[in-house]
Amino acid sequence: MTAEKIIFLLTGALILLSALMVVSTRKLLHAALWLVVTLFGVAVLYAMLQASFLAVVQVVVYIGAIAILFIFAVMLTRREMRDQGQQTRSNWWLPALLGLLILAGLVFLILGVPGADRVPAALPEGFDAVRVLGTALVSPNAYVLPFEVASVLLLAALVGAVYLAGAGKKP
Amino acid sequence: MTFADFLNNPVNFIADWLTGLLTGWGLPDALATILVYVIGITVLIVFAMVLDIGLVWVERKVVARFQDRLGPNRLGPFGLIQPFADIIKLVIKEDITPAGADKVIFNIAPVLAAVSVIALWAILPLSSKIFGVDMNVALLYLVAAGALGTLAIIMAGWSSNNKYALVGAFRMVANMVSYEIPMVVVLLIPTILADTMSVQGITQAQDGLWFAILSPLGFLIFFISAIAELGRTPFDLIEAESELTAGFNVEYSGMKFGWFYASELLHAFTFGGFMAVLFFGGYGGFFGLEKVAGFGWLTNPFIEAAVFIAKAMFGYWAIMWVKYSLPRIRIDHMLAFNWKFLVPLSLVALATPAILHKVLIDLPTWQYALGMFASNVVIASGTIEILRANSRKQRKAEEKLSPQPVKN
């Protein structure tokens, strides 16, 4: 067992446990905070894959913005912070079975991929992943079109939000 | 392995020596490396926390000067032992958890607040040889650590089961989420000028020509949004003693309050350090003197660290200067100031050097610097003109609305 494997297993266990807590805890705010733990664990996975940019952006966007938005939505919309009542339905075993089947199928597929147990080669010295990513995002041979389309989509969402917030007000 | 080696690269020297010692005891290499890293991290954190104790004293002395009093002066020379007395007092105070508080979150919040600050020390380059890590996404990491700080404050405010604490936390989030935008935009200016996001690269790119000269507006915007991010006056609506008693930390007592207080001070100092790194040349500061024969010792890591800490201390002092001179502003003014003024200005302040940098880069250095500086002056005077025209319009509209004085 290498150190990386140990860290990966610990992180994976943390992600699974916190994800389970998100759906099983009765306090809504705790669910939101467990979700933060899950997202942080995913950031750790990115960092282990040498994708430092993704790891940091994961923290900035998902923890810094989206999770905080969730917490606010929970705090502002619910009077009662605890969920009462039953948490499961009578046919809970069916989705559980489906989930297990999908997991088994995925594991089977991944094990079938050639070289799934290989250790990734070390990055060459002086390899700047951020620079490569930045060039790829604006290069016509790579991702400039999807990047621009996504920007236009976000801009449209922004304009829509401003319009909705301003609707009913006279200019 | 001589004393000169130690002076030239202290961290590597000690790390090599420790690794040698540990492997000599029969530990496997991997374990020895991990142990040395753990020791290094601990030493860095301890250094930051000990510095923090000094900051308490500095803060109290400086605020006393601003308010025309003496400050702590009874315990030890110049009251130097006062912070230790404070710590003893905080530690032995009763630890109270309010009724109805969410205990786990209530206890995690102060720890997370401290973590969000100490995490910043991982990328703070004390000198070219003394630093935690040199990441290629360091500036984004700075923003990410700020996100954790926001989370800590929400957790503290919500779990206290106190409406003042919750209102304070709400305000803080509104504050941090909005002022994060000009800060991120402005962080791109050093990135463009230095062509890298790593703090070591940014420091080295400023050799002899500080980015504060190339982009004084960028520095000002970073300064303002850093103060907002810290939640210090004039943006301290999070605490607002006169309205919220003490804001988000009102229910905390003893050392748990101490953690919030300590992390606030250390955060201010750390941002002073980032101002030094991003706009004032970081640990370099002799404008080429170190390259002259006989002055080579100026690049010694200890000298560089001293220069860095002096610059960071100056930034810390400037933040305090603002804090103890200005009154608190209202929350709607704070948000309007950000969205209607700071965000557009930061976008202009980013776009102009981004273009000019490419246009002017081939000119001699002094023409390049002059061009960049002049562009900032033009933007600033344009902004002031627009503001003046706006306020004139507003004044006229109000004069029309206000009732005319009755003639009798």
ipTM score = 0.79
Report which of A145, A118, A135 is spatially closest to residue A53, judged by C-alpha positions.
A135
Domain's final residue, options B64, B92, B120: B92
pLDDT at A18 over 90: yes
Domain's final residue, options B92, B127, B154: B92
Report percent pLDDT > 90 for chain A: 22
Same domain? For B176 and B70 the reply is no
Number of domains chain B is built from = 2
What are residue A27's DSSP bridge partners? Answer: A82
Distances from the Cα of A162 to the Cαs of A166, B174, B336, in angstroms?
A: 6, 17, 16
User: CATH for A1-81, among 1.20.200.10, 3.90.1170.50, 3.90.1010.10, 1.20.120.1200?
Assistant: 1.20.120.1200
Q: Which domain holds residue B28?
A: 1-92
Is residue B176 one of the residues assigned to a domain?
yes
Is residue B231 one of the residues assigned to a domain?
yes
pTM for this one?
A: 0.85
Give the whole-angstrom CA distance, residue B307 versus residue B313: 10
Chain A partners of B133 at a C-beta cutoff of 8 Å? none
The 10 Å Cβ neighbour count of residue B388 is 10
Same domain? For B54 and B143 the reply is no
Q: What is the pLDDT of residue A101?
A: 95
Cβ separation of A60 and B144 shorter than 8 Å? yes
Is residue B58 one of the residues assigned to a domain?
yes
Cβ separation of A56 and B140 shorter than 8 Å? yes
Report which of B305, B152, B317, B304 is spatially closest to residue B223, judged by C-alpha positions.
B317
> Residue A83: which pLDDT band, with cuts at 50, 70 and 90?
low
pLDDT at A40 over 70: yes
Q: For residues B278 and B187, is the Cβ–Cβ distance under 8 A?
A: yes
Chain A partners of B102 at a C-beta cutoff of 8 Å? 27, 29-30
Task: Give the residue on A whose Cα is nearest the Cα of B157.
Answer: A75
Please, what is the angle between helix B216-230 and helix B301-323, to 10°? 70
Cβ separation of A64 and B150 shorter than 8 Å? yes
> Residue A81: which pLDDT band, with cuts at 50, 70 and 90?
low
Chain B partners of A71 at a C-beta cutoff of 8 Å? 154, 158
Q: What is the pLDDT of residue A15?
A: 93
**Segment A67-95 mean pLDDT:** 77
Give the whole-angstrom CA distance, residue A25 versus residue A74: 14
Q: Which residue of B34, B144, B155 is in closest CB contact with A56?
A: B144
Same domain? For B231 and B160 the reply is yes
Rounded to a whole number, what is the distance in Å from the CA of A156 to chain B's nearest CA?
19
Is residue B47 one of the residues assigned to a domain?
yes
Chain B partners of A78 at a C-beta cutoff of 8 Å? none
Report which of A28, A54, A31 is spatially closest to residue A43, judged by C-alpha positions.
A54
DSSP one-letter code for A82: B
pLDDT tens digits in sequence order for chain B, 408 residues long: 577 777 777 777 787 788 888 878 877 777 778 888 888 889 888 988 888 888 888 888 888 888 888 888 888 788 788 888 888 888 898 888 888 778 888 888 899 989 989 988 888 888 877 777 788 888 888 888 888 888 888 888 888 888 888 888 888 888 888 888 899 899 988 888 888 888 888 888 887 788 888 888 889 999 999 988 887 878 777 776 677 777 778 788 888 888 888 888 898 999 999 998 888 887 877 666 666 666 666 777 788 888 888 888 898 999 888 888 888 888 888 888 888 888 989 998 888 888 888 888 777 878 888 888 888 888 889 989 998 998 899 888 888 877 666 666
Average pLDDT, chain A: 84
Is residue B62 one of the residues assigned to a domain?
yes
Q: What is the pLDDT of residue A155?
A: 94
Higher pLDDT, A126 or B136: B136
Is residue B402 one of the residues assigned to a domain?
no
Q: What is the pLDDT of residue B289?
A: 67
Same domain? For B250 and B293 the reply is yes
Is residue B406 one of the residues assigned to a domain?
no
Q: Which residue of B135, B144, B166 is in closest CB contact with A64?
A: B144
Residues 6+ apart with CB under 8 A from B116: B145, B146, B148, B149, B151, B152, B263, B267
Please, what is the angle between helix B29-66 and helix B301-323, to 10°? 40
Residue B322: Cβ-neighbour burial (10 angstroms; 0-12, 13-18, 19+):
middle
